[in-house]
Amino acid sequence: MKLNLGCGKKRIEGWINCDLHDSDMDMDIRHLPFDDNSADEIMVIHCVEHFYVHEIMKILREWRRVLKPDGIIVLELPCLDNILGHFMTGSTNKFTMQGLYGSPSSHKDGEPALHKWCWSKGKFRELLEDIGFTHITEEEPHYHVPSRDMRFVATK
């Protein structure tokens, strides 16, 4: 089983696309209705930044719980290091600002799609290690704004 958590409009064929509304399985992705060790892979694209820093460890533990041993998690999110680099060169376009703050437009739950935290590469890697993920690698982001974002792939 492959889970695309917080899928929004990004549906992936062959995956279970999960979000609050209008998905294959409507749910709060902080609490997964799946058995322990049941998913081969989990993909989470631009959702982590929508959770408060004090709740993310519990959420990542929940996602890890559902992964099978040696299961893979892929996460993409805005990267504070890259955003600060853009600011240092004078770039304050909407994609730079939205990396920090999110979009004031409405999200699926009717609330503005604002960000609650922005992670640096080092701190996010440390968080994944603290949760117990291994073989953590950084790759080029595939979605949104690659020059602004980061992508981590890790194993349970």
Residue 74: pLDDT band (50, 70, 90) is very high
- The 3-state secondary structure of the chain reads CEEEECCCCCCCCCCEEEECCCCCEECCCCCCCCCCCCEEEEEEECCHHHCCCCCHHHHHHHHHHHEEEEEEEEEEEEEHHHHHHHHHCCCCCHHHHHHHHEEEEECCCCCEEECCCCECHHHHHHHHHHHCCEEEEEECCCCCCCCCEEEEEEEC
Q: What angle do CA 101, 140, 17 make, to 5 degrees?
A: 70
The pLDDT tens digits for 42-70 are 999 999 999 999 999 999 999 999 999 99
Residue 72 sits in a domain whose CATH number is 3.40.50.150
- What's the pLDDT at 112? 80
The residue with greater pLDDT, 35 or 112, is: 35
**pLDDT of 107 over the 70 cut:** no
Nearest Cα neighbor of 75 from 154, 128, 152, 155 is 152
Are the C-beta atoms of residues 152 and 136 closer than 8 Å to each other? yes
The residue segments making up the domain with residue 10 are 2-155
Number of structural domains (the chain) is 1
